[in-house]
Copies of this chain bind each other. A is one copy, B any other.
């Protein structure tokens, strides 16, 4: 008896479910694979749209099974409905994502189903990008670089007045520049809500999206990672700028991070353990005198991993180039984004995406790595 793969979740929130069904939907849907065929079970409200859009073999009507379940038990639950569907399909064994609801799994076990957890992600083949997936991610990455170009252009056209950067007569803020970037992306059908524009002390916290006036002579991290509304794939890139005079310490920090990124990109190829790539950058940073550790109750140095998988999720876990063992394979698209963060100097991060090949990797798109904006 072969086991059927089964997911019950929101396709908009569950990349595996969207990957399998190609059906974007804000309501929870039932998806399963049985004997080589893909099934969706849909409410009346979504069934016509599913018939047009979903890439599955068969679409079943949820109310049909709900009515059967109701006949047997007036206060039926989703478990009873699933039991109707699976009985009809002669399914007795299920493979589900480990993240599946435990009340659902318990309910199905009580009905006699054998259930085991699948891998994480549920479709590990997601890591390997098809030529079409590579194409759409590259297309979004081109747009990301245009957006970073917009930011550089705004900084370039701004004037320094005292402790402020003035654009079109007003002090330029993180919020304003982020909005310009996000509107630019949205006008091109991409969503980039959490775009990072973080300056000075804020830039040393890698997940701080930034707020308040941008300041001259300090590092400004611009990290753009939008999702295409059409393809639902992400891209991701980061550049670090400094408007005005660049302090020597920041200049040296930037050169080191840039060298670290180049070192990483040179090492990456199919078959290598990502941990070795990460460690080579750690060693380089240490050799340049940049220590990673705690200072004043705060972590500083190279405080995150070198890169992450990207695709239908901005972070495709557990694909990481970091301290854990993880073998990079042909067709993976990963970010390479070393960074250094010090309270006295600021934060620097440089990020590109690479497509991994048997002999090395291709950097997707191109944008100069230049810190200073006069």
Contact = CB atoms under 8 A, between A and B. Distances in A.
A49 B13 contact: no
Given A99-B101, A102-B106, A183-B186, 8 more contacts: A27-B207, A98-B103, A100-B101, A101-B102, A102-B102, A102-B105, A179-B186, A186-B186
A57 interface: no
- Size range of the interface on A? 35 or more
A96 B98 CA distance: 16
Contact of A182 (B26, B186, B303, B314): B186
- Of the candidates A48, A206, A314, A315, the one having the most CB atoms from chain B within 10 angstroms of its own CB is A48
A262 interface: no
A372 interface: no
What is the copy number of this chain in the assembly?
Answer: 2
A187 interface: yes
Interface string A17-50: 0000000011100000000000000001110110
A51 to B, nearest CB: 10
Contacts of A25: 207
Contacts of A117: 102-103
A128 B38 CA distance: 41
Smallest CB-CB A-B distances: 5 pairs: A102-B102, A98-B103, A102-B105, A99-B101, A44-B299
9 contacts: A44-B303, A48-B298, A98-B103, A98-B104, A99-B101, A102-B102, A102-B104, A183-B183, A183-B187
A255 interface: no
Nearest to A28: B317
A231 to B, nearest CB: 14
Contacts of A103: 98-99, 117
Interface of A: 13, 25-27, 44-46, 48-49, 96, 98-106, 117, 179, 182-183, 186-187, 189, 191, 193-194, 205-208, 229, 298-299, 303-304, 314-315
Contacts of A106: 102
A46 B207 contact: yes
Contacts of A303: 44-45
A44 B304 CA distance: 9
A247 to B, nearest CB: 23
Contact of A205 (B48, B100, B186, B304): B48
B187 A179 contact: yes
A28 to B, nearest CB: 9
Nearest to A185: B186
Nearest to A63: B299
A298 B45 CA distance: 10
Given A103-B117, A208-B49, A189 B194 contact: no
A45 B304 contact: yes
A304 B193 CA distance: 31
Contacts of A46: 207
A49 B207 contact: yes
Nearest to A50: B207
